[in-house]
Chain A
Amino acid sequence: MSVPDFSPLSNDLSGHIVSTRVVPRNDYSSLVPFYGDGAFFIFIKEERTMKERLQELKAEALTKVEQAEEIQDLKDVRVEYLGKKGPITEVLRGMGKLSKEERPVIGQLANDVREEIAQAIEKKQSGLEEAALEEQLEAESIDVTLPGRPVQVGGPHLLTSIVEEIENLFIGMGFEIKEGPEVETDYYNFEALNLPKGHPARDMQDSFYITEELLLRTHTSPVQARTMGMKNGNEPVKMICPGKVYRRDTDDATHSHQFTQIEGLLVDKHVRMSDLKGVLNTFAKQMFGEEREIRLRPSFFPFTEPSVEMDISCKVCGGEGCSVCKGTGWIEILGAGMVHPNVLEMAGYDPKEYSGFAFGMGPERIAMLKYGVDDIRNFYINDQRFLKQYHKA
């Protein structure tokens, strides 16, 4: 009996399962064709063949993964090896022919191979993505020193900032804000403030009259008279009144025919001059700094008695005396005093029962002192370069 030509078969063993006979594991010696009883059998170690095949596929796939240069290459590998029509699936499809014992072993192996390839793809993919991102980021790099797109933001006028700062400060101390007309009656501007017609102090503030009885207010004090007048002489008043005022002055570096004033008034029973001193001290320290000292010195205003002026210690020299404070160590900030009994009476208060204090100051002057503005006209010319300087917090 001659031995049949075996080679074609053996050549083709890779893809074909020619027998279902299962040979025990590790019995490699039995992996030989044999002949017997006239029947033709080929005994192939099936388990070993599929396993080998899977290993081969795995190696192949991993190499391709390794060599992939783009994400698309990886997608191709995935489709080729892990796809529904891929070789591993095909291997698995043939598992039906395996013995019951062999099936889970090969199944497990196939899954492991898939898993391994999938992981390799994923790993490679994230590596490639990372590289791609790097490249993109590199390409997107900019010159961070180029200027940003300016945001158009305006700001308040320096006088408004100062007025609001003062307002807020007194609001904190329980004061209300009151406003009044800029065109005032002679009565409220002068007479109600103890400045009857012909009073010499009227000289101090030459005014813009419209008629004999109407004028542009020369101070914000008429708002005090108006506010007091509304209280029927039996309610306390605690207010400040900011606003524009007007005087017949020729505009120059230190004079302006229009300027700003803020006045404050407190009327109640038992208001003491020491209260005025306490309130002004609180104001001065908050407005100009904790280290500022204040002093009151006698002065004269027709609507207060006693009248005082308040100085703060000079910030520049700390009280030593310098050119800013003209060598005195002190800078005049505001006028104040105890409300004159005539003013209280005219507003309907009994000066024996009620007393009060009032104070008034010029935001322009405060701005000039605080920021060293040297010409009052700057506040009204509205040069953009001036205005913009003070738009900072």
Chain B
Amino acid sequence: MLVSLNWLNDYIDVSDYKPEDLAEIITKTGIEVESVEPVAEAVTGVVVGHVVSCEQHPNADKLSLCQVDVGEGILQIICGAPNIAQGQKVAVATPGAVLPGNFKIKKTKLRGEVSNGMICSLQELGVDEKEVPKEYQDGIYVFPEDVNTGDDAISVLNLNDIIIELGLTPNRADCLSMAGVAYEVAAALDRDYQLAEERVERSNEDASEVVEVLVDDPQANPYYGAFILRDVTVGKSPLWMQNRLTAAGVRPINNVVDITNYVLLEYGQPLHAFDYDRFGSNKVVTRRAKDGEKIKTLDDQERTLTPDHLVITNGESAHAIAGVMGGADSEVQEDTTTILLEAAYFNPANVRQAAKDHGLRSEASTRFEKGVDPNRVERAGVRACELLQKYAGATVLEGVAKFDQLDRTEKAVEMNSNRINDRLGTTISNEEIQQILERLQFHYDHNDDDFTVYAPTRRGDVERFEDMLEEVARIYGYDNLPFTLPSGASQAGGLSLEQELKRGMKSYFEGVGLDETITYSLTSEQQAEMLVSEEVKQNAKSPVKLAMPMSEDHSHLRLSILPELLQSISYNIARKQHNVAYYEVGTVFLSEEEKVTKQPHEMLRAAGALTGEWMSHPWQQEKKEADFFVVKGIVEGLVQWLNIDVEFVKAKVDGMHPGRTALIKRNNENIGFLGQVHPKLQKEWGLKDTYVFDINAEKLIELYQKEEAFETIPRFPSVNRDIALVVDEEVPAGHIESTIYEAGAPLVKQVRVFDVYQGEHLQEGKKSLAYRLLYLDPERTLKDEEVEAAHEQILNAVKETHNAELRG
């Protein structure tokens, strides 16, 4: 809502406040002021000029040579506007004038003729194109004849007015009108304001004898009033009214339309003027539209209606979509003489539906949707009649033809001052509460601490105690509330085990060198199905799809974090960031249903992706690229930290390198995978070798075993023994390791590969694996023979199981 301070001053004198200070007060008591700005940028040196003569420029077809009286003399000015004519009053920027954009006007010569200034269009004076009356859009602005030559054009056009823009919340529809704003400002400043009485002279003829109003659905249309005005002369509205409309962001059109718009802004009540003769009936019937019924609206669009929409008809055909837009057939035109003026109350839900269905959200529909003031509907009609009488020469018929079942009672709200103080933490006295109610102009009864407040109908948002609590609090001032801390029983705040572990996992990943990312949950259908872990696939039918996605890129909920992570890496690679190590702990969405009806399972997963150098120290010739074992090491470290045993099993996973991928298993159950992204996919993404992991973090948290007691540090010496085994190259090192552990139990505590060799001195198809074994008995010092025996046992076992030979 744009509030002109000049206009507001008509209702309530605020001229003693600086606009910024007034804005601050309004913001603090109820409505956020979004900006305080003049109508147009600062302009100086523009006056009203009278075009004494206007001839064609001798050397230019499209230019006119004008002699313009600017009050202090006559200036020769060259003008290129097509609508310039002798006798006009125009806005003249004299030499030295400054127009918006710091555009300085100087005396100049155009095609051999002197020009002492410029005749301006409204746009050149800083008026927004969409607020400029249509007839002046392509040329200069022409003042009404009654303005004085030599006057300051900026004042005459009200361009120095200050506009306060209010950011209205949905509950404050009462401030969608200047009258509502005046009540609000009056309360905030503790000043008086009353909406003035309308004054109209009526003819002897009675409106209800001319038209009959019939309402089919009183629920949707509890009030419909039809005023009849005769002898209307359609023309221009007065300049002051045009100026106010412009200031409020509304384009002036003609006096009839301008007046209905003016009253809409002033009272917050939308009105509609029908050309009575074109309406073609003495009956106004409001009803729900028939399915498929058609109407051609003012914007010349043919629209198809449904019973959700309420229409205004002449008994036969629809002439307006109630509260949304009038019909083209009965539009007020230049030759209109009789007007049927509608002032009505339409049910907010109906208007909202119609506005939404037809994509027609207007100043009018917005106000109906939020509920207009029942006590101001008819008054607004009267106000329009008053103005039409004054500025369009209308003869106003007596009374109003109407259907009226409108509830105009003021809602009674009970409140108690102790309860108010208990909820606010204040000690506001009953007297102070009374003062607040009086500032708000709310009627009330009271008995000691008990108040019954009658909320005015303009304030439809005030319905119950808590609403009054807010009214009292905001006028009392939030600044005046004390600072206290909650007095109830305190609890120990903290993180749950899951939350601790989730944070711990993140710290772990960061500690080992990965950066955290946050990517989008919504992805494309294609990406939603990429790089999905086996156990997710088994429990998810297909990715959950949005009913109405905004774009294909964000249409499905992800089943894996990896695609978005790879996209992030791809983004970095494209920007020459070649070494990237990322992780994300986040949810993926698993639904077992083909057609989703239940909330999907939101599974917490931890995923990471690494590419490029993992660590390097160039001047020491040290460099390590990320590879499978870097990623595996990260995952191993994580599960060790969580005290969980897992296995890594070579496997093929869609989108992954078939020879460099492993499933992560816990007791034969899949909990994730890791490996290299398939080179084909890498190429598609523009990636170099990229290694990833994706693990079920939710499961890890569930499996986490807290170590309750620590093992004592061994007091007896351990013994190291190395063995080098030659096996077929396909035998997995991990299997041999398991065999060693089994055969060496309980003395073998640790087995570590320290060399893998293939090549010279070894038979084709064989490899050598060297292990360092650690033997330990926590209870005593091991004897050589014991170690020897265990070692022998191990050698036998690996020979038997893996056909492993001791390397000679």
- Identify the A interface with B (CB < 8 A): 146-147, 149-150, 152-157, 159-160, 164, 167, 170-177, 179, 181-185, 198, 200-201, 204, 208-211, 213-214, 216, 236, 238, 244, 246, 248, 250, 257-258, 266, 268-275, 277-279, 281-282, 295-300, 305-309, 326-328, 338, 340-341, 355, 379-385, 387-388, 391
Quick one: closest A residue to B36, CB to CB?
A327
Chain B contact-residue range equals: 35 or more
A149-B617, A274-B426, A380-B520 are known; give 6 further A-B pairs, CB within 8 A: A146-B619, A149-B622, A153-B511, A174-B491, A182-B521, A278-B483
Asked whether, in the complex, the Cβ of A295 is within 8 Å of the Cβ of B478, the reply is yes
Question: Which residue of B170, B481, B488, B568 is within 8 Å of A277 (Cβ)?
Answer: B481
Residue from the set A210, A296, A307, A385 with the largest chain B CB neighbour count within 10 Å? A210
Asked whether, in the complex, the Cβ of A306 is within 8 Å of the Cβ of B470, the reply is yes
Residue from the set A277, A338, A382 with the largest chain B CB neighbour count within 10 Å? A382
Asked whether, in the complex, the Cβ of A236 is within 8 Å of the Cβ of B548, the reply is no
Cα distance A277–B473 in the bound complex, in angstroms: 13
Quick one: closest B residue to A249, CB to CB?
B550
Quick one: closest B residue to A244, CB to CB?
B521
Question: Which residue of B24, B422, B516, B571 is within 8 Å of A270 (Cβ)?
Answer: B422
Question: Which residue of B27, B466, B546 is within 8 Å of A209 (Cβ)?
Answer: B546
Question: Which of B121-129, B393-401, B581-589, B745-753 lies at the interface?
Answer: B581-589
Question: Which residue of A146, A149, A308, A327 is within 8 Å of B478 (Cβ)?
Answer: A308
A319 to chain B, nearest CB (A): 12
Cα distance A309–B478 in the bound complex, in angstroms: 11
Asked whether, in the complex, the Cβ of A273 is within 8 Å of the Cβ of B481, the reply is yes
Cα distance A246–B423 in the bound complex, in angstroms: 33
Cα distance A261–B494 in the bound complex, in angstroms: 19
Given A149-B617, A156-B516, A201-B170 in contact, is the A270-B488 Cβ separation under 8 Å? Answer: yes
Question: Which of B90-98, B592-600, B711-719 lies at the interface?
Answer: B592-600
A300 to chain B, nearest CB (A): 3
Cα distance A213–B596 in the bound complex, in angstroms: 10
Quick one: closest B residue to A357, CB to CB?
B486
Question: Which residue of B35, B488, B515, B547 is within 8 Å of A268 (Cβ)?
Answer: B488
| Residues on the A chain within 8 Å of B466, using CB | 305-306, 338, 340-341
Question: Which residue of B172, B511, B557, B622 is within 8 Å of A183 (Cβ)?
Answer: B557
Question: Which of B214-222, B267-275, B298-306, B495-503 lies at the interface?
Answer: B495-503
| Residues on the B chain within 8 Å of A213, using CB | 597
| Residues on the A chain within 8 Å of B512, using CB | 152, 154
| Residues on the B chain within 8 Å of A159, using CB | 518
Question: Which of B198-206, B258-266, B572-580, B789-797 lies at the interface?
Answer: B572-580
Quick one: closest A residue to B608, CB to CB?
A154
Asked whether, in the complex, the Cβ of B521 is within 8 Å of the Cβ of A150, the reply is no
Asked whether, in the complex, the Cβ of B550 is within 8 Å of the Cβ of A177, the reply is no
Asked whether, in the complex, the Cβ of A274 is within 8 Å of the Cβ of B481, the reply is yes
Cα distance A309–B495 in the bound complex, in angstroms: 28
Residue from the set A181, A275, A327 with the largest chain B CB neighbour count within 10 Å? A275
Quick one: closest B residue to A351, CB to CB?
B466
| Residues on the B chain within 8 Å of A277, using CB | 425, 478, 481-484
A183 to chain B, nearest CB (A): 5
- Please tell me if B29 contacts chain A, counting CB pairs below 8 Å: yes
| Residues on the A chain within 8 Å of B596, using CB | 210-211, 214
Asked whether, in the complex, the Cβ of B484 is within 8 Å of the Cβ of A278, the reply is yes
| Residues on the A chain within 8 Å of B488, using CB | 236, 268-271
Question: Which residue of A155, A156, A270, A355 is within 8 Å of B487 (Cβ)?
Answer: A270
Asked whether, in the complex, the Cβ of B491 is within 8 Å of the Cβ of A176, the reply is yes
A352 to chain B, nearest CB (A): 9
Given A154-B509, A257-B550 in contact, is the A210-B544 Cβ separation under 8 Å? Answer: yes
Cα distance A244–B602 in the bound complex, in angstroms: 13
Given A277-B483, A306-B470, A340-B466 in contact, is the A176-B493 Cβ separation under 8 Å? Answer: yes
| Residues on the A chain within 8 Å of B554, using CB | 257
- Identify the B interface with A (CB < 8 A): 20, 24, 27-32, 35, 169-172, 348-349, 352, 369-370, 422-426, 464-467, 469-470, 473-474, 478-479, 481-496, 499, 503, 506, 509-522, 544-550, 554, 557, 568, 571-572, 575, 577, 580-583, 587, 589, 596-597, 599-600, 602, 614-617, 619-620, 622
Among all A-B residue pairs, the 3 with the closest Cβ atoms: A274-B425, A300-B169, A152-B513
Cα distance A21–B659 in the bound complex, in angstroms: 100
Cα distance A88–B589 in the bound complex, in angstroms: 94
| Residues on the B chain within 8 Å of A258, using CB | 520-522
| Residues on the A chain within 8 Å of B602, using CB | 181-183
A172 to chain B, nearest CB (A): 7
Cα distance A307–B172 in the bound complex, in angstroms: 12
| Residues on the B chain within 8 Å of A155, using CB | 510, 515-516
Cα distance A127–B467 in the bound complex, in angstroms: 93
A-B contact pairs, 19 of them (CB 8 A): A147-B619, A150-B616, A152-B615, A153-B510, A154-B514, A184-B599, A198-B349, A200-B352, A208-B548, A210-B545, A216-B546, A268-B486, A272-B422, A278-B486, A296-B481, A297-B32, A381-B568, A382-B582, A383-B571
Cα distance A266–B486 in the bound complex, in angstroms: 9
Given A210-B546, A306-B469, A381-B568 in contact, is the A275-B506 Cβ separation under 8 Å? Answer: no
Given A273-B425, A277-B478 in contact, is the A382-B485 Cβ separation under 8 Å? Answer: no
| Residues on the A chain within 8 Å of B352, using CB | 198, 200
Quick one: closest B residue to A387, CB to CB?
B515
Given A176-B493, A208-B546, A387-B516 in contact, is the A306-B473 Cβ separation under 8 Å? Answer: yes
Asked whether, in the complex, the Cβ of B517 is within 8 Å of the Cβ of A382, the reply is yes
Cα distance A383–B485 in the bound complex, in angstroms: 42
Cα distance A67–B580 in the bound complex, in angstroms: 64
Cα distance A170–B487 in the bound complex, in angstroms: 16
Quick one: closest A residue to B602, CB to CB?
A181
Asked whether, in the complex, the Cβ of B599 is within 8 Å of the Cβ of A275, the reply is no
| Residues on the B chain within 8 Å of A388, using CB | 515
Cα distance A328–B53 in the bound complex, in angstroms: 51
| Residues on the B chain within 8 Å of A296, using CB | 478-479, 481
Asked whether, in the complex, the Cβ of A170 is within 8 Å of the Cβ of B30, the reply is no
Cα distance A198–B619 in the bound complex, in angstroms: 68
| Residues on the A chain within 8 Å of B28, using CB | 295, 297-298
Given A150-B617, A200-B352, A258-B522 in contact, is the A183-B589 Cβ separation under 8 Å? Answer: yes
Cα distance A167–B506 in the bound complex, in angstroms: 16
Cα distance A205–B583 in the bound complex, in angstroms: 31
Question: Which residue of B27, B425, B467 is within 8 Å of A297 (Cβ)?
Answer: B27
A281 to chain B, nearest CB (A): 5
| Residues on the B chain within 8 Å of A208, using CB | 522, 546, 548-550
Given A272-B425, A382-B568 in contact, is the A164-B521 Cβ separation under 8 Å? Answer: no
Asked whether, in the complex, the Cβ of A383 is within 8 Å of the Cβ of B575, the reply is yes
Asked whether, in the complex, the Cβ of A211 is within 8 Å of the Cβ of B599, the reply is no
Question: Which residue of B349, B478, B506, B589 is within 8 Å of A160 (Cβ)?
Answer: B506
Asked whether, in the complex, the Cβ of A382 is within 8 Å of the Cβ of B571, the reply is yes
Asked whether, in the complex, the Cβ of B499 is within 8 Å of the Cβ of A300, the reply is no
Question: Which residue of A183, A355, A387 is within 8 Å of B517 (Cβ)?
Answer: A387
Asked whether, in the complex, the Cβ of B521 is within 8 Å of the Cβ of A274, the reply is no
Asked whether, in the complex, the Cβ of B172 is within 8 Å of the Cβ of A300, the reply is yes
Quick one: closest B residue to A143, CB to CB?
B619
Cα distance A183–B600 in the bound complex, in angstroms: 7
Cα distance A246–B518 in the bound complex, in angstroms: 14
| Residues on the B chain within 8 Å of A181, using CB | 599, 602
B228 to chain A, nearest CB (A): 34
Asked whether, in the complex, the Cβ of B503 is within 8 Å of the Cβ of A164, the reply is yes
Asked whether, in the complex, the Cβ of B583 is within 8 Å of the Cβ of A154, the reply is yes
Cα distance A136–B560 in the bound complex, in angstroms: 58
Cα distance A295–B477 in the bound complex, in angstroms: 10
| Residues on the A chain within 8 Å of B519, using CB | 380, 382
| Residues on the B chain within 8 Å of A341, using CB | 464-466
Cα distance A154–B565 in the bound complex, in angstroms: 16
| Residues on the B chain within 8 Å of A305, using CB | 466-467, 469-470
| Residues on the B chain within 8 Å of A152, using CB | 512-513, 581, 614-615
Asked whether, in the complex, the Cβ of A157 is within 8 Å of the Cβ of B518, the reply is yes
Cα distance A302–B470 in the bound complex, in angstroms: 13
